[in-house]
């Protein structure tokens, strides 16, 4: 395209919620439009009011197709399947119409429902997939709740996904471990998520406050965190834990009662826009996830000077944190060691400051200018293949 001012379309389910994908898409869309001067459109299927939870540049156009697949979450599997297929056919028709009208140079999908058909839309754009989950958790069904026929359906779907990913012009994953998860793919490249906040200071690390940010879900492991905290709060009686997360905290409130956790020192909040302010008022980040595609909150916390304690779950944390340097990586589900390391950091302000300084330094390589340039080089590479 003229002067390399590309026309970019992002396909993602929603912008209205406080999730990591929504945050990253917003940050990159803003950078592409405001800094690189690209023509950027984001096409979503969810969110009736069309608002973005995170700040979005006036230069970024948003098209809401209003399909609202999320309405299907709480109905029976067979009824869900029929309605899903109807919505999916409508989605294909509407997205095809939009892409044929926009005629973008690059179309980026976050690999949700459109992965089943996006490669067959002949709008002339290069198709890039952006994978925010590990392979084992891509459309994973929680085995505690899923029925046999649902598991069969989704295993069949996951078998199909490799052939769809191979048809993309490029698949982007967030860590080198994630690259290794897809040995069948020759079109894969690693580009990490960018730091999504502009940090204007550093925590003093003197506040007796532990923080975690995420989602009230099985994957994020807050049930494990509460078991850890039930041990730690008895040893460090002047510290508090603050959880900021999207979703329903009700099951965790009940768990706090069951564990006799002091609610004056353990607080379950809803999600928050100004995460930087909360990091700067804290001294330690805990990340108890069972699985992570990357671990954006780890990078954010490190940029604010916080040491990190995280389970060494697949992919994400180990690609960011070196054990004993910017924080501690704990063998997954080792509650005793996690508790011990947390108490150790609580009792040693010098260790917190040493690890926090190292984390702050490492976080610089995730700044949007660095990550955004890697995306620009990818766009240039793909477009030059066609002599554009």
How would DSSP label each residue in 331-373?
A: -TT-HHHHHHHHHHHHT-HHHHHHHHHHHHHHGGGGSHHHHHH
* Residue 128 phi, psi (nearest 5): -120, 130
Whether the per-residue pLDDT at 291 is higher than 60: the answer is yes
Decide if 374 is inside a domain.
yes
Mean pLDDT over all residues of the chain? 92
Domain that holds residue 148: 2-194+367-384
Same domain? For 123 and 221 the reply is no
Percent pLDDT > 90 in the chain is: 78
**pLDDT tens for residues 167-182?**
999 999 999 999 998 9
CATH number of the domain to which 228 belongs: 3.40.50.2000
**pLDDT tens for residues 73-109?**
888 878 888 998 999 999 999 999 999 999 999 999 9
Same domain? For 358 and 379 the reply is no
User: 3-state DSSP call for residue 18?
Assistant: coil
**pLDDT tens for residues 67-82?**
999 888 888 878 888 9
Decide if 129 is inside a domain.
yes
Distance CA 355, CA 363 (A): 12
Of 306, 291, 294, 117, nearest to 210 (Cα)? 306
Distance CA 97, CA 123 (A): 9
pLDDT at 125: 98
Decide if 200 is inside a domain.
no
Distance CA 359, CA 326 (A): 5
Same domain? For 242 and 146 the reply is no
Decide if 22 is inside a domain.
yes
**pLDDT tens for residues 123-163?**
999 999 999 877 766 655 444 445 555 565 556 666 678 88
């Amino acid at each position: 395209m003229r002067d390399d001012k590309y026309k970019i379309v992002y396909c993602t389910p929603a912008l209205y919620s406080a999730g990591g994908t929504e945050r990253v898409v917003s940050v990159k869309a803003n950078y592409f439009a405001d800094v690189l001067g690209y023509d950027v459109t984001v096409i979503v299927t969810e969110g009736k009011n069309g608002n973005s939870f995170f700040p979005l540049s006036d230069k970024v156009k948003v098209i809401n197709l209003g399909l609202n697949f999320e309405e299907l979450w709480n109905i029976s599997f067979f009824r869900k399947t029929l309605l899903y297929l109807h919505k999916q056919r409508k989605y294909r028709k509407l997205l095809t119409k939009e892409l044929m009208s926009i005629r973008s140079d690059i179309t980026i999908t976050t690999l949700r429902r459109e992965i089943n058909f996006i490669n067959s839309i002949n709008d002339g754009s290069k198709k890039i997939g952006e994978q925010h989950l590990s392979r084992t958790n891509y459309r994973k069904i929680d085995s505690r709740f899923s029925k046999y026929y649902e598991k069969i359906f989704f295993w069949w779907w996951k078998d199909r996904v490799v052939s769809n990913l191979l048809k993309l012009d490029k698949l982007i994953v967030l860590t080198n471990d994630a690259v290794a998860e897809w040995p069948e793919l020759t079109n894969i490249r690693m580009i990490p998520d960018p730091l999504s906040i502009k940090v204007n200071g550093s925590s003093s690390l003197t506040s007796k406050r532990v923080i975690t940010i995420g989602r009230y879900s099985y994957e994020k492991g807050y049930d494990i965190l509460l078991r850890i905290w039930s041990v730690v709060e008895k040893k460090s009686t002047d510290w508090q834990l603050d959880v900021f997360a999207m979703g329903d905290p009700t099951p965790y409130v009940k768990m706090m009662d069951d564990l006799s956790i002091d609610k004056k020192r353990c607080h379950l909040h809803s999600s928050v826009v100004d995460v930087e302010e909360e990091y700067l008022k804290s001294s330690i980040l805990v990340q108890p996830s069972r699985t992570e595609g990357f671990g954006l909150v780890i990078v954010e916390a490190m940029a604010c000077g916080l040491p990190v304690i995280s389970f060494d779950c697949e992919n994400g944390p180990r690609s960011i944190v070196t054990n004993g340097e910017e924080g501690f990586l704990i063998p997954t589900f080792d509650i005793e060691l996690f508790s011990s390391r947390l108490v150790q950091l609580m009792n040693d302000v010098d260790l917190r400051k040493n690890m926090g300084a190292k984390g702050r330094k490492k976080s610089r390589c995730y700044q949007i200018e660095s990550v955004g340039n890697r995306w620009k080089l990818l766009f240039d590479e793909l477009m030059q293949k066609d002599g554009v």
